[in-house]
């Protein structure tokens, strides 16, 4: 599997994150998000148990707009 860079949060100055990538999986469409690890106890309580092999990340709405832009481009190609 490969990851294609879609963009990063233009407001971020720490480590060029959050960032969004698209994968080239052939069995399904997936994305990889790099963001801030959620450590807030209240948020973790609200969400509930997270499996050991998973984590919660927080990413800004502007980064999610990168997904929307890519999705709209793909729809326009069809």
What mean pLDDT, rounded, does the chain reach? 88
Closest CA to 4 of 27, 29, 38: 29
Reading the block at residue 23, the tokens are 């994968």
pLDDT of residue 43: 96
Asked which of 23-32, 48-57, 67-76 is least confident by mean pLDDT, the reply is 67-76
The SS3 assignment for 41 reads helix
pLDDT of residue 15: 65
Q: What is the mean pLDDT of residues 35-61?
A: 94
Reading the block at residue 66, the tokens are 């990168």
């Amino acid at each position: 599997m490969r990851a294609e860079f879609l963009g990063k949060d233009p407001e971020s100055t720490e480590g060029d994150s959050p960032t969004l990538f698209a994968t080239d999986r052939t069995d399904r469409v997936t994305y990889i998000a790099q963001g801030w690890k959620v450590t807030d106890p209240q948020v973790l309580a609200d969400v509930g148990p997270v499996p050991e092999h998973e984590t919660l990340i927080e990413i800004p709405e502007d980064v999610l707009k990168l997904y929307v832009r890519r999705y709209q481009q793909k729809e326009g190609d069809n």
